Structures are given as structure tokens and as C-alpha cells.
Structure 1
Amino acid sequence: MTWHFTEDPAVFRAAAGALLSAEPARNTGLLARVDTAGRLGWWTGPDGRVTGVLAVAAPGEPTFGTVTPEAARALASSPDLPGNGRPVVVRGETAAVEAFAEATGRPWTPTVRMRLFRLGTLTPPDPAPAGRARVATAADTPLAAAWAREFVRDIGEEPGKDRTGPVTERISGGRLLLWEGADGRPVSMACFSPVTEGQSRVHLVYTPPAARGRGYAAGVTAAASRAARDAGAARVLLFTDLANPTSNALYRRLGYRPVTDHLTAEVTGR
């Protein structure tokens, strides 16, 4: 029973491909990082099967895919512990993150609790909100980048970073949708990720405060979900903040069903 590590995505996929294919939804956060992570790891059990995977995008920031608590605890006592004694920010399914954090023997703090949802039968809002959805164009980039900064601030992260680059990439790929109100002005947005392993994730759902409470987020989320399926996604996923009961209820009404709970935790340095 041991952890193995590589910096080569091809080596990682060859070793862990069966697990990634068997549990693509539960591994969605890791799959988004495979080609950009500085380090990739997989855990083999006593029978040689891979039962855990992780990606380290930056030193001290591991993202767990499917990881058993046993594997998480083993990582905490491994000389390959991400961070090498420095503070660690770990993300993944709640049970694995808690097992890892407790096994380090260091103080730790849960910072964000999320729930992963998978779309079943899409149920658009009825009645539909006023207006319509449309695909964003290059002319929408300044507005979408500003909204992306506001979104990041709303979820408690640092808003100062310029979001123009990521927004431009989504717009150029036709993956950022806007909802226009009855007067034709954009009032909400949502994105969907490129299709990977047959799945896409809806994200960056944002409505400015002055436009909230009118169903625009439901309209644009339904439109983005439909667009993801039209792009070839057999599975459409999204994460919600468990501290936001409004969004959790909204996504359930649209046809999303819970898969598993996720946790981000900060573990102090030695």
C-alpha cells in the first residue's frame, strides 16, 4: 500500500485511468487539473488496485479525486506530504479531507463546504424569467470579467486578480452564456467547462445584487446546462456552497441531484 507520484500526465493516466473512468463525476475537480498540475499521485492498495488519486497544482495545495480515508491518512504521514511542513490547503471529498487533516496532527480549519450535483432530467423554470439567454461575444468581455471578480468576492476568495484572461477563453469557446432582461441588457451569466471524460461542469453562475430575486440565475443556469449537453456532455455537474441554501434549492428545482459533499481545509505548518 503506497502513494506513487509523477509529473507526467500520460504516466498518471496510464496508472490511474481505470479509476478515473469508473468515477468521472467524483473526480471532476482533479480531471480539470491533470494537464496543468505540477504533480500527480495515485494510491495502490494491497491488491495493487488504484483506489486514490490526487493532483497538486501548486506546492501545498493538493486536490483529491476519489481517495479512501486510509489513503488520505497515509499521505499525511508520508515524506511526500504536499507542502513539506508548510501550511497546506487541501480540497476533496469531505471524509478524505477530514481524515488527512486529522492525521497530520496539526491544527486545521474547514474553510468551504461544497456539494457536488449531477443533472438528471433538466427542468427549466416555469414560468420562465423575463428575457432570453444568448452566447456571450467579445464585446461582453469587460462586463463578464467584472462580474467574475464579484463572483470570486462573493464566495470569499481574493477578488483582486484580473479575470479577463479566463473570461476571454470561455467566450472564445462559446461557453459563457448571458441572460438578457426584457430590456435587452445582460442581467446574469453562467459558464460550462469543456467536455472531459464525457462530462462538463456548470460554473461561474452570477447575478449582480440589483437583479437578484427575479429568476435570472435559474434561466441562465438551465441554458448553460442545455448547452453543455448539446456540446456532448453525457454528465453535467456543478458545485454549490452548502452555506447558500438558495442556490442549493434552485439547482434541485432544475433537476440536479446531489452526488457527494466536498471540503476545503487549511492545515497549519509545523
Structure 2
Amino acid sequence: MVALEFTTDATRFLAAAGDHLAADPVLNTVVTANAHKARTLPVGGPPFWWLTVRSADGRVVGAGMRTSPTAPYPLYLLPMPDEAAVSLARALHDRGEETLAVNGALPASALCAAELARLTGGRSEVHVHTRLHELRSLVRPAPSPGRLAAATPDDLDLISAWVTAFMADADEQAGRPRGSGTHTPPDRPELRRRIDAGLLWCWLDPSGRPVSLVGATPPSFGVARIAPVYTPPDERGHGYASNAVAGVSHLLRSAGHRVCLFTDQANPTSNKIYAALGYHPVVDMANFAIL
């Protein structure tokens, strides 16, 4: 038997599940980053919760969250016993919490989505296959003209437009219809917070014009995650993104952090670029839609 513990308090969640999350901080990066952020900033919901899964002897054996601020408010699940993933679906159904998307670790996300679909008489299908990678030894790419520079408030309009375009372009590059993705771009206040925190960078061409964007999450349990990475179509093919990612990766590693990132498995270009920089696969995940 497993027990599902829900809370809307990120501090309480981290107190309960923190040691479990810290044991594999790369695998758990999305949940830990969101939980640490939520201690000081309002995020998401409703619905909104953090989940700790305990075994019969009280050990933490899984975790998850539902904190997305936009529809369809997907669940995000970390590894947990199969029984817990199915029990979670039943618990949400029993309390009438509509759930149309489940993201995260396999097989937990697949099992939860399948049970939700069974309970509602629908079906679940994979929308995006993702892969988490960690940087081992950084391999510098061939140099591109220009330099890496921290973004400034003057870049906010451009960055906001680029982040929105990034979501649509990512779908297109993976062979999906533009705008069909399950992710919503950060809003302007969030982007401004990232700029102020020094977590967004631009690659500048020799004239000082921004030509590529790279961001990172605040380190959580010693892990920082690269996201987003975007180069406008007219600027591609010059190695700007590779050099920018390498530069940001170096900065994060030099500060003592482990560095990771996600790729869309359907996008061979990005997977090839990151592999060449020294990023190695850690685990495959998936985003499911319940239809």
C-alpha cells in the first residue's frame, strides 16, 4: 500500500520530500525548481498541489506536482510505484478534479494517464517524447563571431517575442502543428524576474545585436537547468546557439552547479547539438494528453 499526501504549501512539501528529491537532483530538477520558486512567488492553480508518495513503512518513494498556471494544468510526475500512479488517477477522479494532461517520468505518467482515460471513457496518447540530459565534460564548439552577454531590461520586448516564437518553432521542428505544444511561455513579469536574477543571456553578433537567447533556472539542490534556447530562423546556421549554450553551461559549472536540459526527442537537430557539447541522456519522459 502507498499513501498520497497532498499539500498546497511548497515549504511543507520540501520538508516532507526534500531528502528524497535531493538524492537525485537532476532527475527531479523540474519539481525542485518549481517548489523552491513557489516558496516566495505565487504560482499556478487552481488546481494546485504538491504530492508526496509514501510506502507502507513511511518512506518517501515518489513525488509530483500540479502547479502549471495555464490550461490544461498538466500533472508532473516523478518516478513512483506503479500502484501510486494508478491510485493518483483514481483519487483525482473521485474528487472531481478534471485532468486532461500528464507529464513526467515513465512509466508513472503513462500509467496515470491511462487510468484517467479509462475512468473518463476516453483515451490517452503521447503528445511529446522528451529526454533529460546532463552535462558531463563540456566540449566547446567551433567559435562563432560575437560574444555572450547577460540580458538587460532593455532586451525584455525582444526576449518576450522570442520565447513565444520558441514554443511554436519547437513544434514545427518536431513535425507537429505550430502552437500544438503543451507548454506556455513565461509571461513578461516572469521574464523580467529572470533578467534581474541574471538567468537570461543573449549571444551578440560583432555589431552588438542579439541573435540568440539562452536561459537557465535558479540552481536547486545544486542543479541548474538550461531553458529556453532560441535562435530566430534568419540567424540560424552560424553556431550562435551552440556557443551561447556552451558559454552559459561553463558559467554554471564554474559556479559549482551540475547542469542539465531537456530535449524533444522528435527534434534531431537540438539533440545532435547538445550531444556534441557533452550532454548525455539521463532519462526519457513523456507528455500525455487525455482525450
Is TM > 0.5 for Structure 1 vs Structure 2? yes
Q: Distance in 2 between matches of 1:258 and 1:82?
A: 37
Q: Within the alignment, does 1:144 sit opposite 2:159 as a pair? A: yes
Q: Match for residue 205 of structure 2? A: 181
User: Per-residue deviation at 1:139?
Assistant: 1.5
Q: Secondary structure at the residue paired with 1:86?
A: coil
Q: Match for residue 17 of structure 1? A: 18
Structure 1 letter corresponding to 2:135: L
Q: Within the alignment, does 1:134 sit opposite 2:149 as a pair? A: yes
Q: Match for residue 59 of structure 2? A: 49
RMSD over aligned Cα atoms: 2.2
Provide the TM-score with structure 1 as the length reference: 0.90
Q: Match for residue 188 of structure 2? A: 164
Q: Match for residue 113 of structure 1? A: 129
Q: Please list the CA deviations of residues 193-250 of structure 1 after superposition, one character each: whole Å capped at 9, or x if unmatched.
A: 11111111101100000111111110111111122224442x1110111110110011
User: Per-residue deviation at 1:29?
Assistant: 1.3
Q: Is the 8 A contact 1:39 1:56 kept in 2?
A: yes
Q: Please list the CA deviations of residues 1-36 of structure 1 after superposition, one character each: whole Å capped at 9, or x if unmatched.
A: 221111222322222122111121111111122224
Q: Secondary structure at the residue paired with 2:78?
A: strand
Provide structure 1 residue ranges, at least 5 long, that are not aligned to the other structure: none
Q: Distance in 2 between matches of 1:246 and 1:89?
A: 27
Q: Secondary structure at the residue paired with 2:195?
A: helix
Provide structure 2 residue ranges, at least 5 long, that are not aligned to the other structure: 171-178
Q: How does 1:1-270 map to 2 (within 5 A)?
A: 1-34=2-35, 35=38, 36=43, 38-58=48-68, 61-78=74-91, 80-81=92-93, 84=96, 86-104=98-116, 105=118, 106-125=122-141, 127-155=142-170, 156=179, 157=181, 163-233=187-257, 235-268=258-291
Q: Is the 8 A contact 2:73 2:101 kept in 1?
A: yes
**How many percent identity over aligned positions?**
35
Q: Secondary structure at the residue paired with 2:6?
A: strand
Structure 1 letter corresponding to 2:263: T
Structure 1 consecutive aligned stretches of length 4 or more whose deviation exceeds 6 Å: 158-162
User: Per-residue deviation at 1:158?
Assistant: 8.2
User: Per-residue deviation at 1:110?
Assistant: 1.2
Q: Secondary structure at the residue paired with 2:79?
A: strand
Size of the aligned set, in residue pairs, is: 265
Distance 1:208 1:93, change over 3 A: same
Q: Distance in 1 between matches of 2:157 and 2:66?
A: 31
Q: Match for residue 176 of structure 2? A: none
Q: Distance in 1 between matches of 2:235 and 2:94?
A: 42
